Amino acid sequence: MKVARLYSFNDIRIEESQVPEPGPGDALVRTRACGICSGDVMPWYIEKKAPLVLGHEPSGEIIAAGSEVRSFKKGDRVFTHHHAPCFSCKYCRRGDHVQCATWRSSRIIPGGVSEYILVPAVNLENDTFVLPESLSFEDGTLIEPTACAVKGLRRAKIIQGDTVLIIGLGVMGMINILLAREYGAGRIIGADMVNYRLDKALEFGADNVIDVAAGDLREELLRITEGDMAELVIVGPNSAESMRMGLSCVRPGGQTLFFTPAKPGEKLILDPNYLYFNDINIITSYSCGPDDTREACKLIGKGVVSAGKLVTHRFPIEETGEAFRLTAKAENSLKSLIIF
Ligand SMILES: [Zn+2]
Ligand SMILES: [Zn+2]
């Protein structure tokens, strides 16, 4: 079978690999589509894992199930999550699934951009499900990214009518716009420096957009909101500078959601006196768990998020390097998929 393996940021090779053999509790999936994640194009993040088979947003069809598998059968169209929790440790009991040791160590084999995927028993039982008939395989690839936004907005609750500022309008920023509206946001403001993305944000329901290449974000926000700023600021770009900027845009009583990490070791200088007297909270949100993937599936079923809206480019596996470069460039594209 063909796989796309990353050796370094600029070295992605299509290689032949052995089709994995499922054990009694595992399943073998024939991959039908897999998303390229914007998180995978942070060089420091992906290169520390290299060499690896790319992709953690696959959907596909079960073509073989082990003798002990009862919940799935051959022919099932499925979403499978690359990590799954144990449901019994102290983290899982509090719903902190992504902190679970099993979640951290579990993985689909060899990865999503592979013609076949072995889904180990724990992933199969604890975060794999059959796609509703109304969802295409392409929609299925959006379950994991949508679930990351679901988790973030679960942690940073939107109160009906809140003004939400979303910094960074790649595919995750767009999903945050669509979900913020669904969860009751009043005014939604998007910020980016790429015209294509600013236009798309308006198309997806943002009330205003701010071109950060043309002027100061905070000043423009103050102008648009007549001094009010935003109750929730979602920071997409992975830098301490963006986080600092995000914090400066929060209205007293509000919160900032750090949706991505900064580079390891990067420092953010805070003014605790200002944060304290203005009751400003900082919320983080890393990845997603089984509650979030199910909620994401429902939202996609309702049409809030769909491949029709977000997928802008499709590539065969042979062109994975091109899909990766396009995602890294972060310009006139949203979601790129590898189609099998
Ligand atoms: Zn992802
Ligand atoms: Zn656990």
**Mean pLDDT of the region 103-111:** 97
Distance 284 CA to ligand 2 centre (A): 20
Distance 294 CA to ligand 2 centre (A): 18
- For ligand 1, an ion, list residues with CB under 5 A: 37
Ligand nearest to the CA of 54: 1
Distance 51 CA to ligand 2 centre (A): 27
Distance 52 CA to ligand 2 centre (A): 25
Query: pLDDT tens-digit profile of 135-193?
Result: 999 999 999 999 999 999 999 989 999 999 999 999 999 999 999 999 999 999 999 99
The confidence score (pLDDT) of residue 111 equals 97
Nearest to 321 by CA among 40, 125, 110, 86: 40
Distance 33 CA to ligand 1 centre (A): 14
CA distance 275 to 207: 28
For residue 114, the one-letter residue type is S
Distance 235 CA to ligand 1 centre (A): 16
Ligand nearest to the CA of 94: 2
- For ligand 2, an ion, list residues with CB under 5 A: 85-86, 89, 92, 100
CA distance 92 to 94: 5
Distance 109 CA to ligand 2 centre (A): 20
Nearest to 243 by CA among 210, 217, 273: 217
Ligand nearest to the CA of 34: 1
CA distance 330 to 76: 34
**Mean pLDDT of the region 4-11:** 93
Query: pLDDT tens-digit profile of 306-338?
Result: 999 999 999 999 999 999 999 999 999 999 999
Q: What is the mean pLDDT of the chain?
A: 97
The confidence score (pLDDT) of residue 172 equals 98
Distance 143 CA to ligand 1 centre (A): 9
Distance 96 CA to ligand 2 centre (A): 8
Distance 288 CA to ligand 2 centre (A): 13
Determine contact, residues 287/83, Cβ cutoff 8 Å: yes
By CB atoms closer than 10 A (0-12, 13-18, 19+), residue 94 is: exposed
The confidence score (pLDDT) of residue 13 equals 97
The confidence score (pLDDT) of residue 143 equals 98
Ligand nearest to the CA of 57: 1
Distance 118 CA to ligand 2 centre (A): 21
The confidence score (pLDDT) of residue 38 equals 87
Res. 40: pLDDT tops 90: no
What is this structure's pTM? Answer: 0.97
